[in-house]
Amino acid sequence: MLTFLRRILFSTAGKIIALLLLVVIAVAFALGDITNLSGGGGPSGGALVQVGNKKVTEQELQQRLKNALERARQQQPALDMTQFVAMGGFEQVLDDIVNGMVLEEYARDHGMAVSKAAIDGEIASAPAFADPLTGKFSQRNFEQILAREGITADQIRDDIRQGTLAQWVAGPTVGVVRGATYVPTELALPYASQLLERRKGSVGYVPISAIAPGAPPTDAELTAFYNRNRARYTMPERRVIRYALVRPAQFAEGAKATEAEIAAAYKQNAAQYAASTKRTLAQVIVADQNSANALAAKIKGGATLAAAAQGAGLQPSTIDNAEKQSFARASSPEIANAAFAAAQGVVVGPLRSPLGWHIVRVEKIEQVAGKTLDQVRGELATAITQRKEAEALTNLRGQIDTAIAGNATFDEAVADAKLKAETTQAIFGDGRTQEAAEAATPTPPDPVIAQIAKAGFAMETGDDAQIVPIDQDGSFALVKPERVIAAAPRPLAEIREAVVAGFIRDRQLQAARKAASAILADVGKGTPIADAMKKTGLTLPALQPLDAVRGQLAQAGMQIPPPVRLMFSMAAKKAKMTEAPNGGGYWVVWLDEITPGDARNDKALIAQTRGGLTQVIGAEYLEQFVAAARKSIGVKRDEAAIARVKAQLAGQSTGGN
């Protein structure tokens, strides 16, 4: 969903560049989709952060965190606030808020101001506020959207004002990010040469499977392990959601086509079902009459229209299943009358139209028999029924929408619409139940429940019910979250077997780390890595060779194996260790040799490197600019209050935020 600057984009990278790029482009596109707007508002109560004379309150931060979580849930439906905070979302959102305020204050301090007319112009040109028929700004649509989203016109204007000021301030710096910085070849050459650097070594692996599991843990050991790893056994937030489905098929009985309706539809489309003649016509259009007469004479003399036209340097065209009215519109009524009066094989013309002189040959005539009412009764009945179902569904949706807008409760709206209210089990954000998620063979959630879950997780228990599209046939559901089950560790007694397995696996991992550390220490004393691995007394996989070029890391991205990545951060004739993914064990990497690269003769690589450095240098300029602006404006943080809010969010659901 696109948003105003009040709803800051969440980025796992956590870089200032993400905010500033958003700031510069926000005003350009944010008004294209004025949906799911948040309440924002001015500061109230104690401040977590103060930027100049403005404050960031706990209420505002929580609202923006909730908005960022909703955005992140579009990619990870089961994500909850606890996980979001653990991923670094809290710090990123807070930094984005502060940076936006800093840029606004910096602009004001340097005499920049945005006129009310300019702001109103942005609002007036927003597609979301336009009348769908006229395409022009609709005050009614504007007011309806504001009322639905619980925001004010002043809040929208504040967002546009902040975005515009930030754009003016950061615009020149963003120009640097887009390539305005010049990077000389002499600077790019060493970096390009590094991409050609080759490294060779070897890697040994100490898997946990090589470690004996040992004795089962005692109750005290198990409890201590469980308490240290509560996050590992925390179940994500679940919700119980009430809903009522509405599908076109629900209106099938009342929407059946009557004999009168079928007869009326047949009469209305009589021309469609009447007997008709369709022709295949070949034609060529000539610019002047003399050339057209000469060409027509050749065709009437026995030459094919295609051959005669090509001989004159013209391109003939063929019209399959030509109908008289459409052909008349493309040529002229006179030409159409002549073409449709001629017999098969006859050449008509030259006859003039605004396009030139037409020569037409009737290639084929097909008589299409008419259809009686009985012959088309079935298709007419189906079309009428579908239309009536769609109309009934649309009318009911309008009725429910009006009821909700009039403060009707979920139960009242369902009762008035004579629908059946249903309640989901406790489900995750992707629509799966706990049992389905933990099944030996996980199955995808029901698509309808997945849609309902997505909507239910974007709402709070105190929100009004919402209408959610379900299928392309117009089906929808009325959705209302009933209960939020906060993310919490599952009881030890309930998952004892899994915790025992985790304890043993952790014990094996620690032993694997100890063995890898011993290998590392022996290699550091001069022992060959293969011999050091044998000294452990464990049955380990054979030593594997490593051979790679640094440029491969950039090309493969995250697909590079960790040992290879580690090899490029080491000195030659040294060893390092790193943990394998998913706690599978430890790798010990030995780097044997480094062959420097030389890119002096690789102009393409140097040019590519220059482009990459341009982006890096531009981003650095941008980051330093914001840092300087923050220092100039002054940013005061209440670290204790910030830590308290973060701890609170990390241990609770989003339901009350």
pLDDT digits (tens, 9 = 90+) for 345-397: 888 888 888 888 898 888 888 877 788 888 888 888 888 888 888 888 888 88
Residue 164 sits in the same domain as residue 59: yes
- Over range 114-133, report the average pLDDT: 81
The C-alpha atoms of residue 565 and residue 334 are separated, in whole angstroms, by 78
- 131 and 241 assigned to the same domain: no
Same domain? For 478 and 504 the reply is no
Kindly report the three-state secondary structure assignment for every residue of 110-146.
CCCCCCHHHHHHHHHCCHHHECCCCCCECHHHHHHHH
**Predicted confidence (pLDDT) at residue 653 exceeds the cutoff of 60:** no
Share of the chain above pLDDT 90, in %: 29
* 7 closest CA partner among 93, 115, 117, 120: 93
Does residue 652 surpass a pLDDT of 70? no
In a domain, 610, yes or no: no
Look at residue 3 and tell me if it is in a domain.
no
Residue 607 lies in a domain: no
Is it the case that residue 294 has pLDDT exceeding 80? yes
Whether 329 is in a domain gets the answer: yes
**169 and 242 part of one domain:** no
Q: Which of 454, 486, 518 delimits the end of a domain?
A: 486
3-state secondary structure 432-473: CEHHHHCCCCCCCCCHHHHHHHHHHHCCCCCCCCEEEECCCC
Least confident of 124-138, 324-338, 437-451, 581-595: 124-138
CATH of the domain at 90: 1.10.4030
* pLDDT over 70 percentage in the chain: 88
**Does residue 561 lie within any of the structural domains?**
yes
pLDDT higher than 60, residue 135: yes
Radius of gyration of the chain from its Cα atoms, rounded to whole angstroms:
36
Q: Within 238-363, where are the H helices?
A: 259-268, 270-273, 289-300, 305-311, 324-330, 333-341
Closest Cα partner for 588 from 596, 579, 597, 601? Answer: 579
Q: Is the pLDDT of residue 146 over 50?
A: yes
pLDDT at position 14 over 70: no
pLDDT at 380: 87
* Predicted local confidence at residue 180, as pLDDT: 46
Q: What is the CATH number of the domain that holds 293?
A: 3.10.50.40
Q: pLDDT of 598-617, one tens digit each? A: 999 998 888 888 877 877 77
Task: Please indicate, yes or no, if residue 322 is contained in any of the structural domains.
Answer: yes
Contact present, 6 and 60 (Cβ < 8 Å): no
For the cut 60, the answer to whether the pLDDT of residue 18 exceeds it is no
Q: Is residue 373 part of a domain?
A: no
Do 361 and 391 fall within a single domain? Answer: no
Helix count and strand count (H, E) for the chain: 25, 17
**Range with the lowest mean pLDDT among 54-58, 91-95, 323-327, 496-500?**
323-327
Better-predicted residue by pLDDT, 296 or 140? 296
Same domain, 500 and 564: yes
- Judge whether residue 174 has pLDDT over 80: no
Whether the per-residue pLDDT at 28 is higher than 50: the answer is no
Evaluate whether residue 183 is within a structural domain. Answer: no
Are 466 and 520 contained in the same domain? no
- In this prediction, residue 185 carries a pLDDT of 82
Q: For tokens 């070029």, name the residue.
A: 549
Q: List, in order, residues 6 or more apart from 149 with CB less than 8 Å away.
A: 34, 35, 36, 37, 38, 39
Confidence band (pLDDT; 50, 70, 90) for 149? low
Higher pLDDT, 44 or 481: 481
pLDDT tens, 232-280? 898 889 999 999 999 888 887 788 888 888 888 888 888 778 777 778 8
pLDDT computed for residue 566 by the predictor: 93
Strands 276-286 and 356-368: antiparallel
Q: What is the mean pLDDT of residues 27-56?
A: 55
User: At residue 642, does pLDDT exceed 80?
Assistant: yes
- Model confidence band, residue 148 (pLDDT cutoffs 50, 70, 90): low
Instruction: Say yes or no to pLDDT of 38 above 50.
Output: no
pLDDT band at 109 (very low <50, low <70, confident <90, very high): confident
Domain that holds residue 476: 237-252+387-486
In this structure, what are the phi and psi dihedrals at residue 653, rounded to the nearest 5 degrees?
-80, 175
Residues 6+ apart with CB under 8 A from 488: 234, 235
From 464, 486, 508, give the residue that closes a domain.
486
- The residue from 336, 368, 400 where one domain ends is 368
pLDDT per residue over 502-560, tens digit each? 999 999 999 999 999 999 999 999 999 999 999 999 999 999 999 999 888 877 665 78
Average pLDDT score, the chain: 82
Residue 176 pLDDT greater than 60, yes or no: no
What is the pTM assigned to this prediction? Answer: 0.54
Q: Are residues 533 and 586 in the same domain?
A: yes
Do 325 and 300 fall into the same domain? yes
Region 83-106 average pLDDT: 87
Helices marked H in 219-277 — which ranges?
219-228, 259-268, 270-273
| Predicted local distance difference test score (pLDDT) of residue 651 | 65
Question: Residue 539 has what pLDDT?
Answer: 95
Q: What is the pLDDT of residue 105?
A: 87
Whether residues 355 and 399 fall in one domain: no
Categorize the per-residue pLDDT at 12 as very low, low, confident or very high, splitting at 50, 70 and 90.
Answer: very low
| 438 class by beta-carbon count within 10 Å (0-12 exposed, 13-18 middle, 19+ buried) | exposed
Question: Do 51 and 168 share a domain, yes or no?
Answer: yes
Structurally, the chain folds into a number of domains equal to 4
CA distance 179 to 598: 26
Residues 244 and 132 both lie in one domain:
no
